[in-house]
Amino acid sequence: MRFKLTAPCILLQAALFTVQGPAAAGGTRAPRKAAAETDALREASGYYLRGSAGKALEICLSALDKKPDDEGLYAYALEILPDGPSKQASALRAITEKASAGKADKYIYYLGFCKLFRGAGQLPQALSNCKKARVLEPTLFPVYRELGLTYSASGDSARAVETLAQGVEISSDNYKSYYYLAAEYERTRNYAAALKNYRKALGALGTDRDLDAGTYYGLIRGKVKKLAAMPAIKPAPSKAAASVKRHAGAAPGGRAAHAVPVESYEVCSKEAEVLKASGTVSAIENKLAACEALAPLEPQTKIDRAGYLTRLGKYERAAEEYEKAAALLAPKDLMTAFCHLKTADLYLKLNDIPDAVRYYTKALEINKSDLNAMLGLAAASEARSDYKTAGELYTRVLKAEPSNAKARERLDEITFNLLSPGQLLEELRGRGAADEGKLAATPDDLKLLKLMRAAERNGAVDYLRSKTAYTNGLILEKREQEQLRLCLTLSGFKSYQNYLTRDAVAFFEKKGIDLRDIFTLRDLRGRPMFEPGGRLTEEGMQAYWQAQTGEKTWLIHYEAVPSPEVEKLTAEAEKMLKAGFREISEAEYLWLMKVTDCPDDVLRTAPCDIRIIKMQPAAKYFLCYSPPPVCSGESAKLATYVERYRAGDTEISEQTRSTAFFGTGGIAKKRFCYQGKIWYGD
């Protein structure tokens, strides 16, 4: 790297990010039982913490040689690899080339090539790979750090500072982001800015207890002490010191009076309330931390702070705050139960199932009717394959709240999974979905049975009754645990599917979707919602059920499956819509090319000016619909063609010459374009 670090484990959080997502990379401690913590990673980090970097790298490389696609271990090895040519760099490069083969969507390997090229002095190649990594993963701090370090190595300090500052913006609660920015300022002798950011790093480090926080604390404190002592820099007094100075008066006799801090807990709480209305989540959490320091025995501040820590993705620190608050409250207080519930929810997010079970149980011991605690404990029980306990808990929830859809769905799923092969086959036979001669249910049989049960959970029986008075052979009665359950037969399910398909088509027509486009709809994962014959698929039924709640659960054929790339381009599309453009489909764009005789480049440039946002696997097309002078007259003409197409008027005259007049020869007919250019007449 450009600046030498003595602190270990700088990218351990990034290694965890590849498995767990942004929460682990935001400066918080890694979850105690993280999936990324393989045996090799734990062993390597242990050696690195003891100062044996070479041994740590050796362990990483040996494990990666056997399993090169272990992205968490790869990220860690990349972090502890020193810059410059070395035997280890050559070995890691070979692993990178092997692991990245055919994985053009993995940012981590572009980041690897970036550092390896930088270490070899091949800076243009390093920059190119870092930029590719940023395109693929624009929200992860290590990408900005490596790109910033590469700019620094190239001698472009201005871009290095700009890039590292962007890293601070996306990870403002991560002390390391301030550290790297400060180090670059220090390298360029901007000591005032360096000191400012080292202090911010120290403040952000706060109570953070990741693996290398202690080492960084000493390192940053040393930097602050060194720079603050420089003659050219006069450090600003802290807020607390300034407050003391303002309120210190001269006592009688010339002696100074005792200094009294100005900020009380009440003042701090009021400032926190003001921040809640307009401040950032990070700023509010910092203020609440200050209030907590002023009143460490006030549980409500800890509870409030825990909520904001949760929103920042700092789940373990949030859990600690809830635990501290619970310890300050009365043991049987309902607020204590609430703290235990929130603690359990956080441990469930961290995949720490034993602790989640422990705290859900504590919450239920205090508040036996807490449905959220029951649901949470049921989910945790499912996670450790204790289906009996989970089923009992879901049953308790349904007794208290029969309409709870989540409990009913999970209980039905558990019941289904506990059925023996013989019981499954018997249920299929009872529904008329398997004949008596069948010896075992096939995977397709089980998929159909699960779909039929899901339809029943979504009200299929009552729906079918509302559509037809004749239900003989469509619905059957089944007794389960002293309760009578109405189920669909195979004929009933097919009838239900037909009715549901008709209603779904009408639903999408009301949403303004053309009939020809309805049968090409996909769900949000890109799976077809309609079969080639026109009936709803399983995925289509699930999407339509969910759409009844008001959610948009479908994609028109030209819409891309939601992804980070799509989210990045949404703002650009919104700008065009505000500027008077409207989205048209790819089919409509192709129609314009056909009906106008205009080539692609004419339609996409002024005055037609059709805009295209390229996405995978399709693209979005935008045509200006506003009248002149906002849009051109040509755009307005194209808009009339699109509206004709949407109205079903797709007829195009095949005549190429106009009708002759009084014996004169006909002339060539021109459309909107003629010979590759817009036709404005003779």
Which amino acid is residue 126, in one-letter code? Answer: A
For 401, the token pair is 């709240």
Confidence (pLDDT) at 38? 65
Distance CA 475, CA 487 (A): 6
Which amino acid is residue 80, in one-letter code? Answer: I
- In the Cβ-directed half-sphere of 218, how many Cα atoms lie within 13 Å? 7
- In the Cβ-directed half-sphere of 552, how many Cα atoms lie within 13 Å? 7
- Compute φ and ψ for 431, nearest 5 degrees: -90, 0
Instruction: Specify the pTM.
Output: 0.40
- Tokens 């007919």 belong to residue: 669
| Of 469, 470, 450, residue with least CA distance to 458 | 450
Confidence (pLDDT) at 501? 93
Fold annotation for 12-228: 1.25.40
Confidence (pLDDT) at 652? 76
Residues in contact with 523: Cβ distance below 8 Å, sequence separation at least 6, in sequence order: 529, 539, 540, 542, 543, 553, 554, 555
Confidence (pLDDT) at 50? 66
For 24, the token pair is 């682990």
Query: Measuring CA to CA, how many Å separate 56 from each of 4, 14, 25, 49, 358?
Result: 18, 17, 21, 9, 36
What count of residues does the chain have? 682
Q: For all residues of the chain together, what is the average pLDDT?
A: 78
- Tokens 């619909």 belong to residue: 625
Confidence (pLDDT) at 341? 92
Confidence (pLDDT) at 668? 64
* Residues paired with residue 479 on neighbouring β-strands, in sequence order: 484
Confidence (pLDDT) at 51? 66
Confidence (pLDDT) at 506? 92
Reduced to 3 states, what is the DSSP secondary structure of residue 612? strand
* First vs last C-alpha separation in the chain: 68
Distance CA 273, CA 254 (A): 41
For 126, the token pair is 């390093």
- Interior/surface letters 588-619, b for 16+ CB within 10 angstroms, e for the rest: bbebbeebbbbeeebbeeeebbbbebebeebe
Given a cut of 50, the residues of the chain with pLDDT beneath it are: 1-37, 207-209, 234-262, 660-665
Residues in contact with 544: Cβ distance below 8 Å, sequence separation at least 6, in sequence order: 500, 504, 507, 529, 536, 553
- DSSP result, 371-425: HHHHHHHHHHHHHTT-HHHHHHHHHHHHHH-TT-HHHHHHHHHHHHHHS-HHHHH
Distance CA 198, CA 246 (A): 27
Confidence (pLDDT) at 369? 85
Is the torsion defined by CA of 30, 32, 37, 43 positive or negative? positive
pLDDT tens sequence across 577-623: 777 888 888 888 888 988 888 988 889 888 898 988 876 555 778 99
Q: Are 543 and 458 in contact (CB under 8 A)?
A: no
Distance CA 484, CA 486 (A): 7
Element holding 464 (H helix, E strand): helix 460-467
Domain locations in the chain?
A: 12-228, 441-469+489-557, 564-646
Q: Are 485 and 479 in contact (CB under 8 A)?
A: yes
pLDDT tens sequence across 61-116: 888 888 888 888 888 888 888 887 778 888 888 888 888 887 777 888 889 989 99
Distance CA 91, CA 243 (A): 57
Distance CA 41, CA 48 (A): 10
Q: Are 597 and 672 in contact (CB under 8 A)?
A: yes
| The pairing of beta strand 611-614 with beta strand 619-624 | antiparallel
Distance CA 533, CA 537 (A): 10
Q: Are 130 and 103 in contact (CB under 8 A)?
A: no
Reduced to 3 states, what is the DSSP secondary structure of residue 582? strand
Distance CA 60, CA 53 (A): 11
**DSSP letter, residue 24:** G
